[in-house]
């Protein structure tokens, strides 16, 4: 007996549209297809969250800090905390196929890149560096009331079609943007997300 295929009814599509609107999801894409021009848009402060993001920092840190000074924006960058528990560092190191010492070097390199970019732009006061001491299932790139949320994968590295979700602030706890911001806020409250010195 064959399987009968049915289309999605208009009522279900209407419900799906309503759910998407409530979630604040604007578009589905992949990490490698993200248009990074928002970094130069001047539309609000920028908030970046990743394990260390060396390629991103090498490519964008100077440009972002210069735009922050020019446009009066603030940049916040969160990476793995240098004093994170060893067990956590081992998990990340294994996923990147490196040892803990190399992971520490990469995190330190990225922190240095951001510090140097801030000082070169004469904008140290426009940069906040934070360190995370736990595992979260996503990275994100926020500007103003918009955010790309990128799912983490078992094998680290931004290769292949890694899902990325563009979302906007909704003001509701059903919104993806809002949920991520609440989750990060909880990490700060719990003391597992803390400030790092910008000057060093």
CA dist 19 and 194 (Å) reads 34
Mean pLDDT, each 10-residue run in order, the chain (200 residues): 50 63 90 86 89 93 94 95 96 91 96 97 96 94 95 64 92 94 96 86
Q: How far apart are CA 137 and CA 183, in angstroms?
A: 11
Q: Are strands 75-80 and 127-132 parallel, antiparallel or unpaired?
A: parallel
* Tens digits of residue pLDDT in 12-26: 546 566 777 789 999
pLDDT tens digit string along 88-120? 999 999 888 899 999 999 999 999 999 999 999
Domain assignment of residue 152, given as a range: 25-196
**Domain assignment present for 9:** no
Q: Are 78 and 193 in contact (CB under 8 A)?
A: yes
Predicted local confidence at residue 40, as pLDDT: 76
Distance of CA 112 to the CA centre of its chain: 19
User: Residue 180 sits in a domain of what CATH number?
Assistant: 3.30.870.10
One-character DSSP codes across 114-171: HHHHHHHTT-GGGEEEEEE-S--SEEEEEETTEEEEEE--SS-SS-S--EEEEEE--S
19 domain residue, yes or no: no
Q: How many domains, in total, are found in the chain? A: 1
């Amino acid at each position: 007996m064959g399987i009968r295929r049915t289309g999605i009814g208009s009522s279900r599509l209407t419900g799906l549209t309503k759910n998407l609107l409530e979630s604040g999801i604007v578009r589905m894409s992949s990490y490698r297809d993200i248009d990074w021009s928002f970094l130069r848009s001047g539309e609000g402060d920028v908030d970046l969250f990743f394990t260390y993001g060396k390629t991103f920092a090498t490519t964008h840190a100077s440009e972002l800090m210069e735009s922050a000074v020019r446009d009066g924006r603030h940049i916040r960058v969160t990476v793995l905390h240098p004093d994170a528990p060893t067990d956590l560092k081992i998990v990340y190191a294994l996923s990147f196929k490196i040892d803990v010492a190399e992971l520490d070097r990469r995190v330190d390199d990225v922190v240095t890149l951001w510090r140097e970019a801030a000082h070169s732009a004469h904008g140290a006061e426009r940069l906040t560096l934070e360190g995370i001491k736990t595992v979260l299932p996503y990275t994100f790139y926020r500007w103003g009331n918009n955010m790309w949320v990128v799912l983490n994968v078992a094998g680290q590295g931004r290769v292949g079609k890694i899902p990325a979700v563009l979302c906007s602030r909704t003001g509701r706890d059903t919104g993806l943007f809002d949920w991520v911001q609440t989750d990060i806020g909880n990490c700060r409250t719990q003391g597992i997300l803390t400030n790092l010195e910008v000057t060093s």
